[in-house]
Amino acid sequence: MSATIGGMALCGLAIMLVVSILARKTMGWQVRGDVEIVQMGGAVASSLLFAWCQVRHGNVAVDFATKALPSGVQQILDRTGYFILGCLGLLLAVRTMALGLGSLENHAVSTLLAWIEGYWQLAMVPGLALFGVIGLFQSFAPRQVVDDMAQAFSYGGN
């Protein structure tokens, strides 16, 4: 669900940006604050895609370097990677929440549109937290469960 929302948001931002650029070049007007909107909306949308990427094993892995190792060692390295990414996701969620709350407390606003930045920053927290929880789950779940999850969320869904 979060990946669907993130993907739809990125598509909407892309359409808005194309309209703004075309209108700027052909009609002399643009969407006011289009760059700020893309920056803030893109950050939120991207954070919602991290969990899906983690479930599908879409993060960068150096499998070619470990391919010759025994499967038990490979599994330990995979689980270590999942654990590190899970901790990183939760750390990012906590730090982003602190940033958002600090921005709200200091009344930080965007430069051109004067939108309150803290709300956009806080909107990133659920995606980052989900990313972290999935990484930690993968580090402790049975291998078959992790592989079944990756298969279920792959293209085609079977």
Reported as a single tens digit per residue, the pLDDT across 101-120 is 999 999 999 999 999 999 99
Q: What is the dihedral of CA 50, 54, 55, 58, to 10 degrees?
A: 100
Kindly report, residue by residue over 35-84, the tens digit of the pLDDT: 999 999 999 999 999 999 899 887 766 677 778 889 889 889 889 989 99
In a domain, 30, yes or no: yes
In the chain, the number of structural domains is: 1
- Mean pLDDT over residues 7-12, rounded? 95
In a domain, 78, yes or no: yes
- DSSP annotation string for 11-52: HHHHHHHHHHHHHHHHTS---TTHHHHHHHHHHHHHHHHHHH
Question: Domain limits at 109?
Answer: 2-152
pTM, to two decimals: 0.87
What is the structure's pLDDT at 151? Answer: 86
In a domain, 102, yes or no: yes
In a domain, 157, yes or no: no
In a domain, 127, yes or no: yes
In a domain, 158, yes or no: no
What is the structure's pLDDT at 133? Answer: 97
